[in-house]
Amino acid sequence: MGHGQKNISDRSFRSASPACLIDATMMIESFKDLSSEVAERFQFEALLANLSARFINLPADQVDGAIEAAQRQVCECLAFDVCSLWQLSADQPDTLLLTHYHVPRDFLPVPEAMNAQDVSPWSLEKVRRNETIVVARLTDTPPAAERDRALWQHYGMRSLLTFPLSVGGEATFGALHFAVIREEREWSPDLVGRLRLVAQVFANTLARKWTDQALREGEERLNLATAAADAGLWVLNETGTTFWINAKITAMFGLPPADEIPVDRFIALVHPEDQNRVQKVLTHALDTLDMTAVEYRVVHPDGSIRWMQSRGRLCRPARGGTDRLMGITADITERKRTELEANELRGELAHVTRLSTMGELAASLAHEVNQPLAAILSNAQAARRFLAAPDADMNAIRDILDDIVRDDKRASAVIQRLRAMVRKDMANTAERVSLNDLVREVEQLLNSELIGRSVETELRLSPTLPPVFANSVEMQQVLLNLMLNAMDAMQDQPAGQRRITIETVAENKSARVRVHDTGPGIPLEVMADVFRPFFTTKQHGLGMGLAVCRSIIENHGGRLWMENPTGGGALFQFEIPAAQELPAT
Amino acid sequence: MKPSPERIFVVDDDASFRKSLSRLFRTHGFEIETFDSAENFLKIDLANRSGCIVLDVQMPGLSGLDVQEALAKAECTMPIIFLSGRGDIPMSVRAMKTGAVDFLTKPVDEEALLKAIRSAMEENRRYEGERARIEEARSRIRTLTEREYEVMRHVIAGKLNKQIAGDLGVVEKTVKVHRARAMEKTGVRSVAELVRLCTLAEVEPAQIAE
């Protein structure tokens, strides 16, 4: 082995062409007196150093040319005949694509793609396992390499060396192949090691080129998307004090052209009523490097108001540096205007149907108020008699007064609930509410009606139900409607068999309410119609109840649906997204 | 049996109202017993109670009207004053038709309530007096033998001794003896008195033969 190794060294040194790197040649000149082995080593080390330096920060579009130049240099320097770089096809299995090569002028034509499973299965298997193939003589290869041998012989290759290409411990994506035609060559472990470095440099360079390409494509797509969406682009700097912005943003905000805007200045442009909210979203986004969509108004210098929507996310810079927040902003004024108009109409309709529902409940509600009033009156009359007695029992009178105060509060609570339900509430007054609380409220409101109609209720409220961001009056309207419908559905059931079960369920990122009755269920032939406006099975129904309920729930980003479960009765359920930590009110 | 003292039985599911009403009634010197549901009220031994009932119409479970029905079935004559939080007319009509003393709407005025209570108590007493007289008449009639009882039923049907003898297949003299015994045992001095006694005790006169 020692002999052979020397032999190669001599040979490779002798066959080194003048095209070898100048600095390498210079180095060799200056080390003439050194042994040829040492000289060869220096020569190749120099080539390697030069390659590494060249490939760092090489622009993506120059990578392919640089790799082929380097392949030629290595071949000339080490007296190899062929150096080819193959990459596994992403689309076709077992197919290798020839992407970079250096071959002799009179070399046989090489296919651009080949099925390695057919022509070199042994090599393919080894490369896949990330093993280097070192062949000094074709006769040294095992019987399994029969087809591979045929291929090599076809091209006249006598010694060869193949390195798998991979980056960062990931799967092999290709192979770098060196071959000698002119003679058989022994491969010293030292040389193999250094050539492996070359393979690694190529692999890293190619990987970086792909990343750059992907990034550039991503940027192009983003530019295209923002242009199509009529959106502006921004990036928040590391300290969270300044936005880098594009021209679209300055135009949307009515600003003179600029590349950046301080965060303070941006906040000052936001409508005073929205500033607090936007500031909170930004602070939260800086903490978590994630930003949910936020809608806010911007006041232009001319006083006009535009609605904006901004959303952002974490952006990891391609070439190191810290993560930062980047995002897009779109002018949603038109959408917002239509939305507000539709919302206003929806609110009106909800109000009208609410009034009609409360009208139906008038007698029950009067009962709810009369109950405490009756207690108050009797207590007051009793107190008057106590006072008329010669030695009035002051303690007894104090107890009576306490009871009167308590009942008075009870009556006014009913009236407040009632007032909330009939109030015309046009503004979008959404707040964080617990559906559990609302279910209890509505059950209270319906107390007398439930007793009067001999309907029992069972509440199964989830203790882990997430709060929702909703208009509580409208939510109560939905619950009220579903419960009244359930009561109506059960009126032909015998008194002891009328039961409404209201269940709340904590779902993944949403809250669900299930209202289940023990009535006959919804007849199949009308199931498709129950949510349609003006559909009613009742004598005096408006037919808007469920249609309005569904529009309320959908307006809250949720859904409302019904089914006849196997256990009997009708089951209406709705689901609303859980309130996020932000926006806080 | 000595009747228990007169009481007001308050049946209402609203605790606060029960408490306030009891307070007020006590200042007027009434004895009160309260119940939070119709079911709990119907559990007590009503035969030994005396007074009137202040009954909420609308309660979970059995309603006030259900209580009225149950009392009628049990031949309990205690007068009922209905209280309702929602003054519905059809319901009050139904209640009054089936014998309620009064139907008042919450919140109820002290004077109206006391007036209703007083007339209910009066009615209760009248019922009880009547019941006592009926009981007295029945106990007197229970002292008769079967034959004396039969003869009496014929007498109050207005039959002559001769006809009775024919109907019952006995001699006229026997009828005379039974008739005199029946009058003596029941302590009446005329046929007219005997008729009144039998009416009170709900004794059916014998059928007049063709």
pLDDT tens-place string over residues A394-408: 899 999 999 999 999
| Cross-chain Cβ contact B16/A406 below 8 Å | yes
Q: What is the mean pLDDT of chain A?
A: 84
Report the pLDDT value the prediction gives residue B209, as an integer from 0 to 100: 56
The pair of three-digit structure tokens given for residue A498, joined into one six-digit string:
């009328």
**Phi and psi at residue A291, in whole multiples of 5°?**
-135, 125
**Does the predicted TM-score (pTM) go above 0.80?**
no
Interchain CB contact of B115 with A (< 8 Å): no
In angstroms, how far is CA B44 from the centroid of its own chain?
A: 18
Q: What angle do CA A252, A254, A258 make, to 5 degrees?
A: 90
Query: Considering only A369-383, A415-429, A436-450, which range has the smallest mean pLDDT?
Result: A415-429
CA A133, distance to chain mean position in Å, is 44
The alpha carbon of A179 is separated from its chain's Cα centroid by a whole number of angstroms, namely 49
Of A61, A28, A63, give the one whose Cα is nearest residue A44.
A28
Q: Which of A368, A385, A403 sits opposite B20 (nearest CB)?
A: A403
Per-residue model confidence (pLDDT) at position A35:
60
* Closest to A416 in 3D by CA, of A368, A374, A484: A368
Residues A451, B58: C-beta atoms closer than 8 Å: yes
**ipTM of this complex:** 0.73
Q: Would you call A265 exposed, middle or buried from its count of C-beta atoms within 10 A (0-12, 13-18, 19+)?
A: middle
Angle, CA of A414, A418 and A424, to the nearest 5°: 155
HSE, side-chain direction, 13 A CA sphere, residue A140 = 11
Stretch B72-88: mean pLDDT, rounded? 83
Quick one: average pLDDT of A142-167? 92
Q: How confident is the model at residue A433 (pLDDT cuts 50, 70, 90)?
A: very high
Residues in chain B: 210
A457 Cβ contact list (under 8 Å, min separation 6): A443, A450, A483, A499, A500, A501, A502
Structural contact between residues A541 and A463, judged by C-beta atoms closer than 8 angstroms: no
CA–CA dist A132, A130 (Å, integer): 7
Could you tell me the pLDDT band of residue B99, with boundaries at 50, 70 and 90? low
CB–CB of B55/B82 below 8 Å? Answer: yes
- The tally of CA atoms less than 13 A away on the side-chain side of residue A580 is 9
Cα separation of A2 and A5, whole Å? 5
**Chain B interface, best mutation among A369, A370, A401, A403, by max B CB count within 10 A:** A370
The pLDDT tens digits for A496-540 are: 899 999 999 999 889 999 999 999 998 888 877 788 777 777 666
Residue B106: which of A374, A406, A410 has the nearest Cβ? A374
- Give the percent of chain B with pLDDT over 70: 91
Cβ contacts of residue A380 below 8 Å, gap of 6+? A400, A404
Residues A225-244: b if buried by 16+ CB within 10 A, e if exposed: ebeeeebbbbbbeeeeebbb
Confidence at A164, pLDDT banded by 50, 70, 90: very high
* Most distant pair of Cα atoms in chain B: their distance: 73
Q: A470, A513 in Cβ contact below 8 A?
A: no
Residue A440's pLDDT band, with cuts at 50, 70 and 90, is very high
Comparing A123-127, A524-528, A559-563, B17-21, the range with the smallest average pLDDT is A524-528
pLDDT at A90: 83
Q: How far is CA A313 from the centre of its chain?
A: 9
Enumerate the residues of chain A whose CB falls inside 8 A of the CB of residue B28.
385
B106 with A370: Cβ contact below 8 A: yes
Query: Residue B1 pLDDT more than 50?
Result: no
| Most confident among A205-209, A307-311, A405-409, A564-568 (mean pLDDT) | A405-409
Token pair for residue A183?
């003679």
Cβ-based burial of B80 (10 A; exposed 0-12, middle 13-18, buried ≥19): buried
**Residue pLDDT, tens place only, A56-75:** 778 888 888 999 999 998 99
Average pLDDT over residues A554-558: 89
pLDDT of residue A401: 95
User: Nearest-CA residue of chain A relative to B106?
Assistant: A374
d(CA B62, nearest CA chain A) in Å: 9
Question: Quick one: which H or E segment has residue A160?
Answer: strand A159-165
Q: What is the mean pLDDT of residues B76-99?
A: 76
- At residue A20, the pLDDT reads 44
* pLDDT for A5: 39
Query: Locate tokens 């689309």: which residue?
Result: A91
Chain A residue with Cα closest to B23: A382
Q: What is the pLDDT of residue A573?
A: 95
B161 or A537, which is more confident: B161
A123, A134, A163, A194, A404 from A126: Cα distances, Å: 5, 11, 10, 20, 92
The letter for the amino acid at A534 is F
pLDDT value at B40 more than 90: yes
Q: Does residue A473 surpass a pLDDT of 60?
A: yes
**How far is it, in rounded angstroms, from Cα A576 to Cα A578?**
6
| pLDDT reported for residue B32 | 94
**Record: contact B20-A452, CB cut-off 8 A:** no
Furthest-apart CA pair in chain A: how many Å?
136
Other Cβ atoms within 10 Å of A127 Cβ, number: 26
B107:A374 CB<8 A: yes
Q: Which residues contact A75 (CB under 8 A, 6 or more apart)?
A: A81, A82, A83, A102, A178
Of chain B, the percentage scoring pLDDT greater than 90 comes to 33
A 373-432 near B (Cβ less than 8 A): 373-379, 381-382, 385-386, 400, 403, 406-407, 410
Please state the rounded mean pLDDT for residues B97-107.
Answer: 78
The answer to whether the CB of A494 falls within 8 A of the CB of A456 is no
Nearest chain B Cα to A392, which residue? B27
Residue A224 vs residue A430, higher pLDDT: A430
Report the pLDDT averaged over residues A233-242.
Answer: 83
Residue entry with tokens 């559909």: A535
Of B19, B86, B110, the CB nearest to A366: B86
Q: Which of A364, A377, A452 minimises the CB distance to B107?
A: A377
Residue B75 tokens, joined = 């031949």
A115: left (phi over 0), alpha (psi -120 to 50) or beta: beta
Q: What's the rounded Cα separation, in Å, for the pair B22 and B34?
A: 8
A367 closest CB neighbour out of B19, B58, B109: B58
Instruction: Supply the Cα-derived Rg of chain A in whole angstroms.
Output: 41
- Contact (CB<8Å) B83/A403: no
The reply to whether residue A378 touches residue B88, judged by beta carbons under 8 angstroms, is: no
Find the mean pLDDT for residues B5-14.
90
Task: For chain A, give the percent of residues with pLDDT over 90.
Answer: 33
Mind listing the pLDDT tens digit for each residue in A362-397? 878 888 888 899 999 999 999 999 998 888 888 999
Residues 6+ apart with CB under 8 A from B97: none
pLDDT at A58: 81
User: In terms of Cα–Cα distance, which of A443, A371, A377, A381 is closest to A412?
Assistant: A371
Q: Supply A178's token pair.
A: 């060196």
Q: Which amino acid is at A518?
A: T
Sign of CA dihedral B80, B85, B86, B87: positive
Q: Strand pairing partners for B16?
A: none
Residues sharing a CB contact under 8 Å with residue A275, sequence separation 6 or more, in sequence order: A267
Among A531, A527, A559, CA closest to A544 = A531
pLDDT over 50 (residue A446): yes
Chains A, B: CB contacts within 8 A come to: 82
User: Which alpha helices (DSSP H) does A15-90 contain, by range?
Assistant: 22-30, 36-55, 63-78
Task: Enter the DSSP assignment of B207.
Answer: P
Q: According to the 3-state scheme, what is the secondary structure of A166-235?
A: CCCCCCCCEEEEEEECCCCCCCCHHHHHHHHHHHHHHHHHHHHHHHHHHHHHHHHHHHHHHHHCCEEEEE
- Among A90-99, A422-431, B46-55, where is mean pLDDT lowest? A422-431
SS3 B13: coil
Contact A414, A449 (CB under 8 A): no
Task: DSSP letter for A239, please.
Answer: T
Hey, which residues 155-184 in chain B have their CB within 8 Å of chain A? Answer: none
> Is the Cβ pair A385, B107 closer than 8 Å?
no
A468 within 8 A of A432, measured Cβ to Cβ = yes
Residue type for position A543? G
Angle subtended at Cα A465 by Cα A463 and Cα A470, rounded to the nearest 5 degrees: 135
Minimal C-alpha gap between A399 and chain B (Å): 11
For residues A346 and A555, the answer to whether their CB atoms sit within 8 Å is yes
Strand A324-331 to A456-460 pairing: unpaired
Nearest-10 crossing angle of helices A36-55, A22-30: 150
Lowest mean pLDDT among A316-330, A509-523, A551-565, B129-143: A316-330
Q: Can you tell me the distance from the alpha carbon of A65 to that of A69, in angstroms, rounded to the nearest whole number?
A: 6
User: What mean pLDDT is predicted for residues A199-220?
Assistant: 83
Residue A15 has pLDDT above 70, yes or no: no
